Structures are given as C-alpha cells and as structure tokens.
Amino acid sequence: MPVPELFVTFYEVFMQTYKGFLEAGLLTIEITAIAVVIGTILGIIFALMKISHSKILQTIANLYITLIRGTPLIVQIMFLYFGITSIIVLENFWAGAIALGVHNGAYIAEIFRGSIQGIDRGQREASLALGMNRSQTMRRIVFPQALRRAIPPLGNQFIITLKDSSLVYVIGVSELFGVANRVAASNFKQFETFLVVGLYYLILVLIFTALLKWYENKLDVDK
C-alpha cells in the first residue's frame, strides 16, 4: 500500500524537521521583508526618474530596468554576493536580501510608473487649474490614487519575491529551501522533504494573500 506509506513517511519527515523549518521560515520571511522594503524604495525612485523630464534620469532608470529584467535572478545574487564581498565583508543573508531587493526594484518601478501614468489626465489638469503646482499635484492628487491602483500588482510582486527568496540558497543562506536541500541530502527522503517545504511556501503565500485581500477591501470601504 504505497499511499498510506507515503503519509507515514511524510508525517515522520514533518515531525523530524518542523523545528528547523520554523527557524528557516522566519529567515525566509525576513529576507522577503527586507527585499520588499528595498525594492519598494528603489521602485519609487526609479519610477520617478522614468516619469521625470530629465533625459539623463530616464536613461539611468531604463538601464537599470533593462539590466535587471534581462538577467536571471540567480546570476544577480551570485554577482552581488561575490562582487560586493570582494569589496566589503557582507553576510550572505544580507547579500541575498539586497540582491533580491535590487531585483524587485526594477519590477516595482514599472508597476508604479504604470499606475501613475494610468491616472486620468483630467486629475492633473483639475489640480493645476486650482493653482496647485506640479509637485503638490503629484503628491496630493496623483500619487495617492496611483498607490491605490498599484496595490494589486504590488501584492502579486511581493508573492513572487517570497517564492524567489528560495534562490538565495545558492549562497548558503539557511532559509526554507536551503534547509530542505540539506535535510533531503541527509535523510534521502527527497520527495517527502520537498513536499513539506512546498507546503510551507504555500501556507506563507496563502497568509499573505489573505492579508492583501483584507487590506484591499478596507481601502474599498474607505472610498
């Protein structure tokens, strides 16, 4: 009877590893959170550069976005890890989180740019017609509306970040996937181990999705 047997070994693996995985899960959440913060800050900066009237700033932003989108995340992680650690001493945890953040910044910049440019022209005109200057118009009228519009795609991007954080195992960070890899190598129950770690990711994503939905609903009610 292979099916009950699978359940049994699955349960065994789960019970043997959950302590280690809880710690690793915390690390996954930390890396994701740091990457999201860095990515959002970079995203705002580069989105503003892209919509600015300065050709130089636009070019810099385009270069950044093209480079990041044009190369695999795993290459960026390796590049940053070995590139930066040759100059300054950096824990692999921080190298991974920063790489993930810089990677996300490019995608988040595009999300913000799209949501800013998606705001009806009439909003800007009405604000300018009232005597508000360009910066007041952006700050008070355009950005708050754009931010609301950016929340669903941002949430999506954050979920991708959470899952992509697994790639920092290549520089030896003991997050969920890194631990799973090591566990599987020692207990030889690869199938069950990766099933368990997959479940952890799924649970994290579901929790985050629920939080996001709650927040979106709250915003809708406010309006």
Partner 1 sequence: MIKAENVHKSFGKLEVLKGIDMEVHPGEVVVLVGVSGSGKSTFLRCLNFLELTNEGVITIDGKRVNQKKDDLSKVRAEVGMVFQHFNLFPHKTVLENVMEAPIMVKKVAKSKAKTTALEILGKVGLSDKADVYPNKLSGGQKQRVAIARALAMEPKALLFDEPTSALDPELVGEVLQVMKDLADEGMTMVVVTHEMKFAKEVADRVIMLNEGVIIEDADPDTFFNHSTNERTRQFLEMVNV
DSSP 117-159: HTS-HHHHHHHHHTT--HHHIIIIIIHHHHHHHHHHHHHHHHH
**Cβ-based nearer residue to partner 1, 126 or 211:** 126
Q: How many Å apart are CA 77 and CA 111, to the nearest integer?
A: 22
Contact status, residue 223 vs residue 188, Cβ threshold 8 Å:
no
Shortest spacing between CB 223 and partner 1, in angstroms: 6
Contact status, residue 98 vs residue 79, Cβ threshold 8 Å:
no
**Cβ-based nearer residue to partner 1, 218 or 223:** 223
What tokens appear for 49 in the block? 């550069």
- The amino acid sitting at 4 is P
Shortest spacing between CB 133 and partner 1, in angstroms: 4
Shortest spacing between CB 221 and partner 1, in angstroms: 11
**Cβ-based nearer residue to partner 1, 4 or 122:** 122
Contact status, residue 40 vs residue 81, Cβ threshold 8 Å:
no
Q: How many Å apart are CA 47 and CA 67, to the nearest integer?
A: 15
**Cβ-based nearer residue to partner 1, 38 or 119:** 119
**Cβ-based nearer residue to partner 1, 2 or 131:** 131
Shortest spacing between CB 112 and partner 1, in angstroms: 16
**Cβ-based nearer residue to partner 1, 1 or 221:** 221
Shortest spacing between CB 149 and partner 1, in angstroms: 10
Shortest spacing between CB 142 and partner 1, in angstroms: 10
What tokens appear for 189 in the block? 């129950």
Residues that bind partner 1 (CB under 8 A): 120, 122-123, 125-133, 136, 140-141, 144-145, 148, 223
State the residue for tokens 């709650």. Answer: 214
Instruction: Put residue 182 in one of left, alpha, beta given phi > 0 → left and psi -120 to 50 → alpha.
Output: alpha
Q: How many Å apart are CA 191 and CA 169, to the nearest integer?
A: 19
